[in-house]
Structure 1
Amino acid sequence: MLAFVYNCARPGQFMLAKNRSLRQGQPVAEKFYSANGFLLLKNDIYKDDELIIPENVDITIKSRIVTVKGPRGELTKNLRHLNMEIKADGEKKLKFVVYHGNRKHVACIRTVRSIVNNMVTGVTKGFQYKMRYVYAHFPINVIVNDGGKEVEIRNFLGQKVTFRVKMLEGCSVENSAAQKDELIITGNDLDAVSQSAASIQQATAVKNKDIRKFLDGIYVSERNVLEEA
């Protein structure tokens, strides 16, 4: 007899197997249920999570567009692509709710909670990425232009070409005063700060060489949360 059996190797999929039909009275794990010999995965009827909001932070939600205001500024994220209810539970508490969600859908709850929590951290403390220059022979020359909004990279691997990388909105970059050959990127939005650092690293990626041998570049060396504003 043929039966559909939940494929544990590929979550969310079912495989067709021989001689795997369920016998009457055969025990089934709590997350599964049987129907006419089919082994099916249960959906969670209700799942939620909560986030406590600090006293000096205000959060407004409209059509799953979240706006967070704090001492360091304001951040906005559009979460309308997620089928999830985000609502205020009292004055200083947010609740994230999913109804009848499958495994991947329920996993989004913690993801969205982390996104909003990072926004709260950004408007109260801020984020900082430190990047170090790595070179064996040709010293990398980095110039910060436009008031910390652009980085100009020269003499990478001895090349005459100049690489220019613009920081994303809300981010600023500066040369470290305490450490030689170091850049410091700061901002309130974790996504923007990390993407600005990634853009600098990609600009100095070694082309057509074995990167295990040619290690020259500018790499993230440290990630920090700044002190509260």
Structure 2
Amino acid sequence: MSRIGKKPIALPKDVEVLIKEGAITVKGVLGALSLDIHPLIQIVHDDEGALKFEMAREGRQAKAMLGTTRALVANMVQGVKHGFERKLTLSGVGFRAQVQDNQLSLSVGYSNPVLHRMPEGIKVETPAQTEIVVKGIDKQQVGQVAANVRRSRPPGRYKGEGVRYANEKVILKETKKK
């Protein structure tokens, strides 16, 4: 059995959980998220205000899904309570970012600006021209939007110019020697 799957999730006071057959919905201050539950997993809401996860049947797939489901639900609880954010930085001469009407415009060295329309539930801020902050309640969606923005101009191997995560370390290649 998964060690992660054994841990119960303590629910904060302002987070509500609704478990219906085959789905769980988590509502909080920032919004609501729902997830379809695998048929091999059962979620029990105990009297202490915690969620416990159990396998309906023994098996290899049930063990794998137990830890996965527990981690997804824990991310949902944290998302509706606090939210998630990813920070990106632009490095390069003339590289800048702007937000206009829920759309991110990047000037990253191409002839035209690169536009990224943000999906519903995702907010983008640019505290400075070279900083981008992606915020939302769904961890997977925030990470995917940040990855799509980074993909528009990944850091170069020789100078390191491009879009990178705030804590990312880029290993630069050495140039040719004469």
TM over 0.5: yes
Match of 1:5 in 2: none
Q: CA deviation at 1:108?
A: 2.4
CA distance in 1, matches of 2:27, 2:17: 6
Q: Hey, what does 1:20 align to over in structure 2?
A: none
Alignment of 1:92-103 (within 5 A): 92-103=49-60
User: Structure 2 matches for 1:67-146, cutoff 5 A?
Assistant: 67-80=25-38, 83-90=40-47, 92-135=49-92, 138-146=93-101
Separation in 2 of the partners of 1:107 and 1:172? 33
Tell me, in whole angstroms, the C-alpha distance in 1 between the residues paired with 2:11 and 2:70.
12
Change (3 A) 1:160 1:200: same
| Preserved contact between residue 168 and residue 193 of structure 1 (Cα < 8 Å) | no
Aligned to 1:153: 106
Query: How far off its partner does 1:86 sit?
Result: 1.9
User: What residue ranges of structure 1 are gaps of 5+ in the alignment?
Assistant: 1-42, 223-229
Unaligned runs of 5+ in 2: 168-178
Per-residue CA deviations over 1:133-166 (Å, capped at 9, x if unaligned) read 022xx421212111xx211112x23x21321112
CA drift at 1:100: 4.0
Match of 1:54 among 12, 25, 30: 12
Which amino acid in the other structure matches residue 82 of structure 2?
K
Paired letter, 2:145: S
Distance in structure 2 (CA, Å) of the matches to 1:101 and 1:215: 49
2:126 aligned to 172, 175, 197, which one? 175
- Name which of 116, 138, 158 aligns with 1:165: 116
Question: Equivalent of 2:134, from 175, 185, 207?
Answer: 185
Deviations 1:147-204 (A, max 9, x none): xx211112x23x2132111222211011115xx5111111111111111111101122
In structure 1, give the amino acid aligned to 2:95.
I
Aligned length: 166
Q: For 2:103 and 2:37, locate their aligned partners in 1 and report how far apart those are by CA, in whole Å.
A: 29
Q: Shift of the alpha carbon at 1:116?
A: 0.9
Which structure has more helix as a fraction of its residues? 2
SS in 1 for 2:119: coil
Deviation at 1:50, TM superposition (A): 2.3
Partner of 2:174: none
TM-score, normalized by length of structure 1?
0.64
Query: Does the 8 A contact of 1:132 with 1:183 survive in 2?
Result: yes
Q: Which runs of 4+ in 1 moved over 6 A?
A: none
C-alpha separation in 1, matches of 2:133 and 2:7: 35
**How far apart, CA to CA, are the structure 2 residues paired with 1:74 and 1:121?**
11
Aligned-partner Cα distance in 2 for 1:101–1:205:
44
The answer to whether the 8 Å contact 1:165/1:203 transfers is: no
Helix, strand or coil: the match of 1:101? coil
Which has the larger Rg? 1
- The SS at the match of 2:51 is strand
The reply to whether residue 212 of structure 1 matches residue 157 of structure 2 is yes
Identity %: 28
The match for 1:22 is none
Distance 2:25 2:64 in 1: 22
Give the partner amino acid of 1:50. P
Letter in 1 for 2:104: V
